[in-house]
Structure 1
Amino acid sequence: MKPSLYFTAAILTLAGLTSLTINSKNILPPAPTIKVPEGFSVNIVADTLGPVRHLAVTANGNIYVKQNNVRNRKGLYYLTDNNKDGYFETKAGFGDYPGTGIKVINGYLYSSSNSAVYRYKLNAKNEVIDADKPELIVTGLVDKRADNAKAFVIDDKNDLYVAVGSYSDACRAQGSIVGIPGCPLRDSVGGVWKFKADKAGQTYADGIRFATGVKNSMGIDFNPVTKTIFVTQHGRSLDNKFPQYYTSQQVAQLPAEALYELKQGADAGWPFAYYDNFQNKYVQSPEYGGDGKKSPDVKYLEPLTVIPAHFAPNDLLFYTGKSFPAKYRNGAFMAFHAQSPEMQKGYLVAFVPFKNGKPSGNWEVFADNFSGQATGSTGIQYRPTGLAQGPDGSLYVADDLKGTIFKISYSGK
């Protein structure tokens, strides 16, 4: 049984931030319901943080987390384990904007709201120097409330890539089930835009549309082996508007979600086509003349890994550590935030093995049973939503239901 947590306000010298100290007599116990491969162990290292999204671990082992709801909370928290007992008992909150993306790189903390990207200068201890005066890097990103998370990544050339999801599921004309010819929404949503990571005051118009046809990408990472950008896509919903083409079972199982490697000008097909994981091909969308079988005339970017519908891959991480067994090196972890109702499987962390910069096998379950319930039941306990690698090579997983952070370590041979 978990020990009770009591919150007391305390003023700490933590780069000038006001902090809350979490008083707990004991370290929270391992999470016994999380299933991991032999030789791995799971511990809860932080809890009750609220609706956390992505997270970043600093070189000295402290943690920054991003919040997606700032009601009675802050948008960012800096977590520290002052007594080195394995539990982060202190959190310092700052930032009054919700959002998802967060990175620590090149002496800065980068953080995104649902319409902008900010950065904060860090001191030698990786603490934010001036929490009240972030530098505004990009502003004016489209935010229509639906699928508005702005996940981002920075490459080795200091270029900033921001995923901008589409608030429209299929770019239909208003009040119609027919798609808008050419889908003008693709000019501002449904893709990835490229900016400079070190240039303040950029607007949406300053960005380059790096890739398009990606309906909503929550997972985005830079692969240090290929020097390219990879994303995981949340697919559209087929709903029940086309019963002449799709059964209820097909609606529940389609379309596939996917892992893509992006290069300049890549097009993953949204909204004109989607990937069918049963026919193993792109299928023309019903709004644009498709019938559930017809292939599009245009060739779209092929997925590297096909993910079942509605798994909601919320984060992507290429593992560069050395503490995990060799099979995990340079491979990709994915956090699945939901489940397939038809398959009754989800709420897990998956792994895709890579060799020479390409997947060398299908995705596999790495950490499972975050739901803590019989598969398909209600009362989900945890939903994996963020991934980060620690300086010791451990994998951190954030949950946005209870605001829990798990640390997965390897101690086997």
Structure 2
Amino acid sequence: MKKLFLILITASLSLVVTANDSTKVSANNQVVADADNAGLNLPSGFGALIAADNLGRARHIVATKQGGIYVKLERLVGGKGIVYLTDANKDGKMEIETSFANFIGTGIAIKDNYLYASSNEDVFRYQLDENGKVINPDSPQRIVKGLWDKRQHASKSLALDNAGNIYVNIGAPSNSCQEVDRTKGSKGMYPCPILDSAGGIWQFKVDQTDQGYHNGVRYATGLRNVVGLDWNDQQNKLYVTMHGRDMLYNLYPEMFDTTVSAELPSETMYAINKGDDAGWPYVYYDHFQKKKVLSPEYGGDGKKAGGEKAIDPIVAFPGHMAPNALLFYTGNQFPAKYKNGAFIAFHGSWNRSPLPQEGYYVVFVPFENGKPSGQWEVFANGFSGTEVVKNPRDAKHRPCGLTQGPDGSLYVSDDVKGTIYRIMYNSK
């Protein structure tokens, strides 16, 4: 009996080794989910764990081919704005290997052994070694400088193509280009002077230093603020998600009631070609009427169509949910329906009262041939830690960044407590 007992104990230890109270590593070093899936609600077959925590205001994130993760911080922690995480013992829990960069910001990306990161004014480039670690953390190349930073919509999100170009969002420091911003009775400026330097996507070269507006190309315009953007390699095209305008009821109560203002305008996703105009500030998209509507600052009444030359969104979501990251999934870990589809991290609303605030989750949009092939669905929920969010301060976590690990796991960052979630699929 003693011999049999020892055999059973040995067999059990060989199958599962406990890494901490909730995360386990199997004998073949496959990380399994936390017992409570890190507090998330996920589709059947998926699990999640907390890969890192308490990092600071973690904005966008990017994974290396070797499995490390770079995290861009909105506020400096210990004087540093980028954190590099690794998982040395492969238990699923990542530790800070190093931190560097003396600037805050949102954008971060990797392409061809270079790490790109943005402040609210500049874009920097760091070379990576064969292990995916930055070689020159204290002396990056500054490839873009002097972009508008007027505090409102100041973050500079990034995407890179396969032809040596980098795409930078320059958000409009305005709600709807009024003469006096967010003021009842103030008219919209026409033409909107902001569009010369903001409210769009600018294209720069990755291998030139200290480029400014005069070196770049205004690739697309009429985009109020694009925090989520990704280059789709399958389509060789840029896709973006835009934050819509605010305050329809506050500024025009004679045209919009509080419920309409809570739901509109739509948050929108676009497929972008060079030279495109999405119509801000002159029009907004209404997903109920399924059309572009003339903005009230420019003579609209909530029904008049406008923007005949402006492009239409390919997906429209309810208003004010704040799409903060866009990622096309190219991995093989998830079921086939997710291949080449889009994940979007919604940061959550602040201005949907009297309705509950909405967002605070990650959604999935199925794609085929570069176009949505079905309805969007909530993929990961529960970040907020409460069923009903009445005020953004109620939310314990707010999704912000997305990246795909080399094994096909999906990582999600939170900029309230600096939590990094890892979502995995296990068909068993």
How far is 1:304 from its partner?
Answer: 0.5
Give the conservation status (yes or no) of the 8 Å contact 2:389–2:395: no
- Which residue number corresponds to residue 230 of structure 1? 239
Name the amino acid aligned to 1:211: A
Tell me the SS of whatever aligns to 1:185: helix
Matched letter for residue 345 of structure 1: E
Give 1 or 2: higher helix fraction: 2
Q: Does 1:67 align with 2:82?
A: no
Q: Name the residue aligned to 1:117.
A: 123
1:131 aligns with 2:137: yes
Instruction: List per-residue Cα deviations over 1:185-236 (Å, max 9, x = no partner).
Output: 1011110001111211211221111100110000000111110000000001
Rounded Cα–Cα distance in structure 2 between residues aligned with 1:32 and 1:149: 28
Unaligned segments of structure 1, at least 5 residues: 1-24
Identify the residue that residue 373 of structure 1 maps to in structure 2: 386
Please identify, of 397-406 and 293-302, the stretch whose mean Cα deviation from structure 2 is larger: 293-302
Residue pairs, 1:34-49, within 5 angstroms: 34-49=40-55
User: Counterpart of 1:208?
Assistant: 217
Gaps of 5+ in 2: 1-18, 24-33
Q: Deviations over 1:97-121 (max 9, x none)?
A: 0000101111111001111110101
Instruction: Tell me how far apart the structure 1 counterparts of residues 402 and 41 of structure 2 sit (CA, whole Å).
Output: 17
| Cα deviation, residue 344, structure 1 | 4.5
Question: Which of 153, 159, 178 is the matching residue for 2:187?
Answer: 178
Q: Does 1:164 align with 2:174?
A: no
Cα deviation for residue 308 of structure 1 reads 0.8
- From 141, 144, 149, the equivalent of 1:143 is 149
Q: Per the alignment, do residues 101 and 227 of structure 1 end up closer, same or farther by CA in structure 2, a change over 3 Å counting?
A: same
Give the Å deviation of 1:86.
1.3
Distance (Å, rounded) in 2 between the aligned partners of 1:242 and 1:72: 45
| Structure 1 residue 83 displacement after superposition | 2.0
Contact 1:82 1:90 in 2 (8 A): no
Match of 1:351 among 347, 364, 376: 364
Q: State which of 82, 93, 99 in structure 2 corresponds to 1:87.
A: 93
Aligned residue number for residue 328 of structure 1: 338
Distance across 2 between alignment mates of 1:355 and 1:182: 37
**Counterpart of 1:360?**
373
Q: Distance in 1 between matches of 2:336 and 2:83?
A: 33
Which moves more between the two structures, 338-347 or 91-100? 338-347
Partner Cα separation in structure 2 for residue 256 and residue 277 of structure 1? 6
For the structure 1 residues 85 and 71, does the alpha-carbon distance in structure 2 shift closer, same or farther, using more than 3 Å as the test? Answer: closer
Contact persistence 1:137–1:199 (CA under 8 A): yes
The answer on 1:277 being equivalent to 2:290 is no
1:26 aligns with 2:41: no
Tell whether the 8 Å contact from 1:42 to 1:409 is kept in structure 2 after alignment: yes
Equivalent residue of 1:193, what SS? strand
Separation in 1 of the partners of 2:67 and 2:99? 18
* Residues 292 and 307 in structure 2, CA contact (< 8 A), matched pair in contact too: no
| Counterpart-to-counterpart distance in 2, 1:85 and 1:409 | 14
Rg: which structure is higher?
A: 2
Residue identity in the other structure for 1:182: P
Quick check: 1:41–1:408 contact (8 Å CA) kept in 2? Answer: yes
Q: Show the counterpart of 2:420.
A: 405
**TM-score normalised to structure 1 length:** 0.91
Report the residue type matching 2:365 in the other structure. V
Candidates 397, 400, 418, aligned match of 1:385: 400
Please list the CA deviations of residues 372-395 of structure 1 after superposition, one character each: whole Å capped at 9, or x if unmatched: 112224531111100000000010
How many residues are treated as equivalent by the alignment?
390
Q: Distance in 2 between matches of 1:115 and 1:236?
A: 23
CA deviation digits over 1:240-284, x for unaligned, max 9?
A: 111111112111111001110000111111000000121111110
Instruction: Check the 8 A contact 1:228/1:263 in 2, yes or no.
Output: yes
Which SS does the other structure have where 1:250 is aligned?
Answer: helix
Counterpart of 1:69 in 2: which secondary structure? strand
* Higher mean C-alpha deviation, range 306-315 or range 81-90: 81-90
Partners of 2:423 and 2:253 in 1: CA distance: 44
Between 1:341-350 and 1:321-330, the stretch displaced more is 341-350
Residues 140/91 of structure 1: CA separation in 2 closer, same or farther (3 Å cut): same
Identity percentage of aligned residues: 48
CA shift, 1:343, in A, is 5.7
The equivalent position to 1:256 in structure 2, one of 266, 282, 291, is 266
Q: Does the 8 Å CA contact 2:283/2:293 hold for their aligned counterparts? A: yes
Q: 1:157 is aligned with what amino acid?
A: A
* Secondary structure in structure 2 of the residue aligned to 1:322: coil
The 3-state SS of whatever aligns with 1:375 is coil
Contact kept? 1:214, 1:267, Cα under 8 Å: yes
Work out whether residues 27 and 86 of structure 1, in 8 Å CA contact, stay in contact via their aligned partners in 2: no
Deviation at 1:299, TM superposition (A): 3.0
How many Å separate the matches in 2 of 1:338 and 1:349?
10
Task: Specify the SS of the correspondent of 2:102.
Answer: coil
Residue of structure 1 in register with 2:278 after alignment: 268
Contact 2:240–2:326 under 8 Å retained in 1: yes
| One-letter amino acid of the counterpart of residue 72, structure 2 | K
Which residue of the other structure, out of 315, 323, 328, is the alignment partner of 1:305? 315
Residue 8 of structure 2 is matched in structure 1 by none
Quick one: distance in 1 between partners of 2:307 and 2:189? 17
Contact persistence 1:116–1:136 (CA under 8 A): yes
C-alpha distance in structure 2 between counterparts of 1:388 and 1:319, whole Å? 9
CA RMSD of aligned residues (A): 1.6
